[in-house]
Amino acid sequence: MLTGMELKRIKMTVSTLWVLTAVVIAIVADLSVSGGIAVTSLDLLPPLAILLLWNDPAPTTSECIREARR
């Protein structure tokens, strides 16, 4: 099972790769200023959703019992 730090690292890695890919595509496509702003705003939504909405999994019943016994 993933720990909290591993999940944070995965979320940050996925978000960073997404943003870098969007920047490279915008540079290669040679977008105008308004096109660049539109692409930037749309490309920042998925990483933002990943960072804010992807929560840690809830502990299982056996994990709760094991933690309570300690």
Q: pLDDT confidence of 1, banded at 50, 70, 90? A: low
pLDDT value for 13: 92
Nearest to 3 by CA among 46, 26, 11: 11
CA–chain centroid gap for 27, Å, is 22
Q: What is the pTM of this model?
A: 0.65
List, for residues 33-55, the tens digit of each pLDDT value.
787 777 777 788 888 888 888 87
Domain extents in the chain: 4-69
